[in-house]
Structure 1
């Protein structure tokens, strides 16, 4: 039976879910608070420069392919994809870096160059990572998190020890070189937790990194948003922007309407891809399934201080993706998770998409995106942002042996306050809930409300978790639950 479905938000998960729901014959309308769609994956343009405001890494291309195949399409129908070589560069000090290239063979050579015998250990580690990838990404993550039994299969029972060990322990059991350890622990940062708190099973992220590689969609990640938007509209989805959802109305225990910009809109089903905590505040208190205490005790992924910078020159000695691990990773992670505060010496990441894609900056200039991971909920004022821009510019110039600050045409910052203002993000987190053992699968907030019929959730605070590929999967999972509910 055809349903009138309202979707709150237009990030990856909301757009994906809308496509599936429209394909099933429903009338689907997206209500987006901001002027443009995309959620955290919005785009910023200025003076001929184009920046992805959120995700900049395109990993797990098979997940994107599987999504589009569900509609008889391919990513190439909507955007052009290029595999990066090198995938990224990791700096450990001035003129001290390791380059991660585009094949496992080349990466093994880089490891061997750093530490004799490490390539043999890496191949063994990657065999396990591939095995985990096949179990997780091709099967487990496509389960909706409604029961612990979803995790109980013949293959996962053989892996049970990996759920109770950690990435950090497994890596350090095989590797002693601190640089190689840092590189192997890096991919799980996308899951929002410390490697020492992330189950070893999540080594499948290393396969995503070394086995599948890093890609760049021409014109940036926003071209993927544009592609899914085009697909959604072809399927009949209506997308409305500047639509602030103020309340979710409940009648007889069922979600019945949205109040949007003061207007009541009656619907059959409500799906929220907005911040989960915020969405529940749109309900009367007795209809909220998670208390403030519940959210306060959860481990959230970091927030971030971002800078979008236009440079009046080409930047040297960097790659499209460049990581700066020249300071103590353990100390910075403690300042995010254990004793939340502004970090003394932060690790940071820099992206220069114009190294690959000439469409994102004027000729002879460079578009730069800088990201510092932070604890959510910190005080965020302009003076602190400026202080940290100075910090990373000084280190950047020293490490890469060049002047860049005097070539800044403009810079725009984005931090905790902006995440709250633009996305109603809980404490200004950037990535959702961390994938720790106690926040995995059925232990995450549910896709379906336990208190209000016909109310559903999707996105990075529910299953499967943070990241763009999981967001696409989350959209598929919740659409499946909604369709199942219709039949009952």
Structure 2
């Protein structure tokens, strides 16, 4: 049999992982990336002497990365040094409460008790209640495809028993009463584009994923991890085409037959799309059935993000700040509704402040700091005057940082860069400029999410944030594992029929 050729669209972590897996399986893989460098959401921005992580800043479940290197007899730790982050996060509210959270309950529990003594027992009860969610949702089902309704029906009784129909906020609220502590243990769905008031309780498992496998940061930034995966793919014989956008997925006789990339027709035996799921079906595939188009346009999508990158001419960071800092605004539930439902930029906000030099001093030029500030904002299904609103929002963000953490912060800024919903829409090609594709609601999870294998185009497969199991580095790496399993099975079937 001739060596089969597979095209992978997009070099985010999902696309890179799928390309490595399939190349290691003996296929000839061509990976097309529209940007001039690999990484997708995890790309690096270079501004003057500074290099900024473009997206993800947290590595959890690192064994999923280790698997990719083990496929070729190599070791992740020989290519990338993952540094432990401790604390995982430092969390603040508007009333002066603080929680330094890591994977050790003995460290977290006294802080919980000091804030609200009755919640100490509640926190332990929450950990016990979330354990089955981790076991079922991540360990047992995370790498399993949901291609048929029967796949969902098979696990529905277990999900009902685990109360997966509840929201994360309601699930945690059963055990933890203090408003600040509820925020501390329900914010995780925001890291994968989820509304904590709507995201299925199954995503409470994220807390335990971090607790069991830790939170890590690659020395040299996320670019070192992206570069290591790209190099691994190249060492296997894979071909990476940078600055080469895919304009269309070719379909012949109901089967994916290749792509049109930068105006050139590239034939293939199968196509794996790491492009945004909605974009794949609404823009890249002309044969998408009208019912699928209607479903996708009516689905619930994640929020977007406004991120400001600052290069600072100082070697000092205030003691109050850790590597990962989450600052909650005076409102929580109503602010979330402003972002996801009312789709407005409110006067108040919550933010994530990333200070990588706390873990990796090489994250900035010598004697300087490179950090970013992220604020969740509505996606482009809104009528916001974006430039004006984002300028005002940045001023409020800077004022808060100076008032609460870093006096004189503005005077240290020597370079700055911003991304916003238009970056996600235009540069990354996400539908509505979302940061994470579809929301992880129960009715948009597992079988209800765009499948890893297209149900109406043979030979077309999906990986990444918009397909099963969802966003976040563990989710997209698992999607690649699922896709590999299905592609290999389908290609073996094609050979048998031949």
Normalising to structure 2: TM-score of the pair? 0.93
Distance of 2:371 and 2:484 partners within structure 1: 37
| 1:65 correspondence with 2:66 | yes
Matches within 5 A, 1:412-423: 412-423=417-428
| 1:320 correspondence with 2:307 | no
Matches within 5 A, 1:115-264: 115-151=116-152, 157=158, 160-264=161-265
Counting matched residue pairs gives: 488
Say whether the 8 Å CA contact 1:247–1:258 is kept in structure 2: yes
Q: Deviations over 1:176-229 (max 9, x none)?
A: 111111101011222322222122232211212344332111111222212211
Normalising to structure 1: TM-score of the pair? 0.94
Say whether the 8 Å CA contact 2:50–2:311 is kept in structure 1: yes
Distance of 2:133 and 2:74 partners within structure 1: 27
Q: Which consecutive residues of structure 1, in runs of 5 or more, have no partner in the other structure? A: none
| 1:373 correspondence with 2:346 | no
Residue number in structure 2 paired with 1:43: 44
Q: Which consecutive residues of structure 2, in runs of 5 or more, have no partner in the other structure? A: 494-498
Residue number in structure 1 paired with 2:309: 308
Deviation at 1:80, TM superposition (A): 0.5
SS at match of 2:93: strand
Distance of 2:472 and 2:89 partners within structure 1: 18
Deviation at 1:70, TM superposition (A): 4.0
Distance of 1:255 and 1:154 partners within structure 2: 31
Matches within 5 A, 1:16-35: 16-35=17-36
| 1:468 correspondence with 2:469 | no
Distance of aligned partners of 1:131 and 1:281 in 2 relative to their CA distance in 1, 3 Å threshold: closer
Distance of 1:127 and 1:446 partners within structure 2: 31
Deviation at 1:256, TM superposition (A): 1.9
Distance of 1:19 and 1:455 partners within structure 2: 18
Residue number in structure 2 paired with 1:406: 411
Range that drifts further, 279-288 or 382-391: 279-288
Say whether the 8 Å CA contact 1:89–1:318 is kept in structure 2: yes
Say whether the 8 Å CA contact 1:52–1:221 is kept in structure 2: yes
Distance of 1:351 and 1:286 partners within structure 2: 42
Say whether the 8 Å CA contact 1:256–1:269 is kept in structure 2: yes
Say whether the 8 Å CA contact 1:95–1:400 is kept in structure 2: no
Say whether the 8 Å CA contact 1:102–1:213 is kept in structure 2: yes
Deviation at 1:159, TM superposition (A): 5.5
Deviation at 1:406, TM superposition (A): 1.7
Distance of 2:115 and 2:288 partners within structure 1: 56
| 1:425 correspondence with 2:430 | yes
Say whether the 8 Å CA contact 2:326–2:351 is kept in structure 1: yes
Q: Deviations over 1:398-439 (max 9, x none)?
A: 122622012111211001111111111100001111111101
Say whether the 8 Å CA contact 2:22–2:29 is kept in structure 1: yes
SS at match of 1:162: coil
SS at match of 2:347: coil
SS at match of 1:22: helix
Say whether the 8 Å CA contact 1:93–1:399 is kept in structure 2: no
Range that drifts further, 146-155 or 464-473: 146-155
Q: Deviations over 1:147-175 (max 9, x none)?
A: 34435668962752412222212211222
| 1:396 correspondence with 2:401 | yes
Residue number in structure 1 paired with 2:354: 351
Deviation at 1:452, TM superposition (A): 2.1
Residue number in structure 2 paired with 1:56: 57
Say whether the 8 Å CA contact 1:270–1:456 is kept in structure 2: yes
Distance of 1:471 and 1:219 partners within structure 2: 22
Say whether the 8 Å CA contact 1:159–1:201 is kept in structure 2: no
Given candidates 419, 435, 444, the residue that maps to 2:449 is 444
Say whether the 8 Å CA contact 2:282–2:293 is kept in structure 1: no
Distance of aligned partners of 1:290 and 1:209 in 2 relative to their CA distance in 1, 3 Å threshold: farther
Deviation at 1:33, TM superposition (A): 0.5
**How much is the aligned-residue C-alpha RMSD, in angstroms?**
2.1
